[in-house]
Chains A and B, each alone.
Chain A
Amino acid sequence: MATKTIRVDTLTRVEGEGALELDIADGAVAGVRLSIFEPPRFFEALLRGRAGAEAPDITARICGICPVAYQMSAVHAIEDAWGITVDGPLRALRRLLYCGEWIESHALHIVLLHAPDFLGFPDAISMAAAHAEAVQRGLALKKAGNEVLRLLGGREIHPVNVRVGGFYRVPTRAELAPLAATLEAAHAQAVALARWVAEFPFPEFARNYEFVALRHPDEYPLNAGRIVSNRGLDIAVAEYEAAFAERHVAHSTALQSGLRARGSYLVGPLARFNLNHDRLGPSVQALAAELGLAPGCANPFRSIIVRAIEVVYACEEALRLIAAYEPPSAPAVPVAPRAGEGTACTEAPRGILFHRYRLDAEGSILEARIVPPTSQNQSTIEDDLRIIATRDLRLPEDELRDHCEQAIRNYDPCISCSTHFLRLEVRRR
């Protein structure tokens, strides 16, 4: 019996640490394991006994790439527990802040982490020699997203200005004006970026995924909505844990999430686009159509185009929010801690991020539950890899490994979030 194991010890161009192992027995793929060995940091445990008001700053430290996502899910969940409603300009500013994170995070992934796969480079720096304009444009877009974070949040990584009830300080209209000029330029760059990535060579690949995303009555989803899927799931956020279960597998420090009824599912840009195409607005829809992207896209390799489309959308939406902005009378609504339980789900750049907190009468956290997007995508990534590895089994090992890593990067996995980084190991038996 011919057996072999192929292993990628350190998966590169992803955020966090993990490995990939393929077991091959008698010329067929016998096992695929996305090993996440990021050391556990025990956030759900260390949050116990902390003040509910500390949750946004503490959970931001789960991920330096998408701290705003953690801050947003945290404040919405605590506000849910304490019966607080934040609307009007404060709600709009939160959405604007989130747009900044989408632009920054997507530009980072598209240009610095994923594009080199399609164009055959080990990284964006070596890609810059042949594609200088595209790399410069990507860096400029990333910088524009970071400028939104810096102005509204104080700094780009672990912003300091988000609090339960709103913000510590809100900007004036005059302070937002220069941001509008930056975002106008970024919008044009984002359209060019989308056209650039749409020309990449895409492998033929499609699966019958269950896509899961938020859906809001009139917005492309960021901070709020019901949790829906293309197979009829339609639940309130508070019902999340009734519909989804996490399990702990031996090869991973991340818990894997699945639908109790049907197992694997896919979250992130592709799911959002497929389920919310009608909320993108006419100009973004027209651009998607021009690039050959229609709702129902089931090729995860094309998620790089969807990410670029979402950058265009986030620039447009940010400009709309800035144009409509009237400063609120106070930077935050009054907050009165009380005993209770609250849940929230927001759309992190990589997909839905669920938080639940149970708090005592003083507002201290008794229990915390956090489900990041990458642990939700983990079993779907393994399913994709099983198909790709089977298809490419006869290719030289280097190529097989590259194809697998590229397929993993389709999900922009944030392993720090889910807990850790990747190695690819293929065992041939």
Chain B
Amino acid sequence: MIKKFSIVAAGLMSVALIGAAIAHESQNPAVKARTSIMQLYAFNIGTLGGMAKGEMEYDAEAATRAANNLVVLTQIDQSAMWPAGTDNVADPSNRALPAIWENFPDVGAKGQAMVDAAAVMQAAAGQDVEALKGAMKGLGGACSACHKAYRAPKN
């Protein structure tokens, strides 16, 4: 009896563990796609930020390449990556708030602000490190504006 109970308990536990592992990352291809774009942003901004902070030596060409990538990223049409039912209520494995689907015009305006900020960085990145530093603020502001309104806190 006890043995049977332990087997059932172990079985339940592994189901729970697998559940937790799945919950960690969304399996929805649309969510995966948009999350990948965010990672590409972070990677390229990382190059620019490293130079802005003085952790990396300023290199006009590398900075320009990173900034060009940002501009390309802002040009990707993401409309198929935000299907209904992929908000954090329907799919708790991601942090997209339902408000996104209720405020498309505002989301679009914030997206345009990101396009503009990337263009400013593209013009600044190759000039010198001071220009690059100056453009970081606008870039971060554009990211944060959308994250504050439309992304759930981490925990």
Q: Do A and B come from one complex?
A: no
